[in-house]
Amino acid sequence: MLFGAAIVTVALHGCSAPWQGPINMGPTDTGAGTLTAARAHLEGRWTNVSYELFPPGAAPISIGGTGLLTYDAYGNMTIEVRVDEATARILGAAGIPTTNNAVITSGRTAIDIQARTLTYVVEGQKAFDAPGGPAALSRPRHWQVDGDMLTLTTMGDDGKPTSIGRWQKMKGN
């Protein structure tokens, strides 16, 4: 019996268990085309340059106002847009609710790397809420960053753009 215990002891001390150190899982997900790279492109503070709505069967509508979009390294996004009363009504009809002529929301984003879309989940929104209109905040936005310009395009069920927002990165970000 003592001999058996000695063999077990030697065997256990002579083996190195795979959990005794870091496990090499491959390179860190940081290259081009990764979630980390996408978030790095989007991270920062962006001011609204233009916003256009494309209602079905009607002429495009250029939305005026001032806006700030803030995106952090963890996928959190805050939007603050101030508009006049007429524009607030147009936005509401497109599925973007306003309060006191402003859209002020905070939430998280889900990024689909292959489709290059960003889906915004507003705080308090249920995960499977149906979009409220053609440009609702819960609809995926196709995103493109060219230098210091971010373009977010919402596509309708027919595959055509329902809104295009352009945001310029603020200096120092």
pLDDT on residue 129: 55
Q: Say if residue 151's pLDDT is above 90.
A: yes
The pLDDT of 22-44, averaged and rounded, is 71
State how far the alpha carbon of 121 is from the alpha carbons of 39, 130, 152, in Å: 16, 12, 15
Torsion of CA 129, 135, 140, 142, to 10 degrees: 180
Query: Six-digit token pair at 102?
Result: 């402003």
The pLDDT of 122-133, averaged and rounded, is 63
151, 164 Cβ separation under 8 angstroms: yes
Please give the mean pLDDT across all residues of the chain: 79
The pLDDT of 23-52, averaged and rounded, is 78
Q: Say if residue 8's pLDDT is above 60.
A: no
- pLDDT tens, 92-120? 887 788 899 998 888 899 999 899 999 88
Please state, in angstroms and rounded to a whole number, the distance separating the CA atoms of residues 53 and 99. Answer: 19
pLDDT on residue 102: 92
φ, ψ at 161 (rounded to 5°): -65, 135
CATH number for the domain whose boundaries are 30-169: 2.40.128.50
pLDDT on residue 67: 93
- pLDDT tens, 45-72? 999 999 998 887 888 888 888 999 999 9
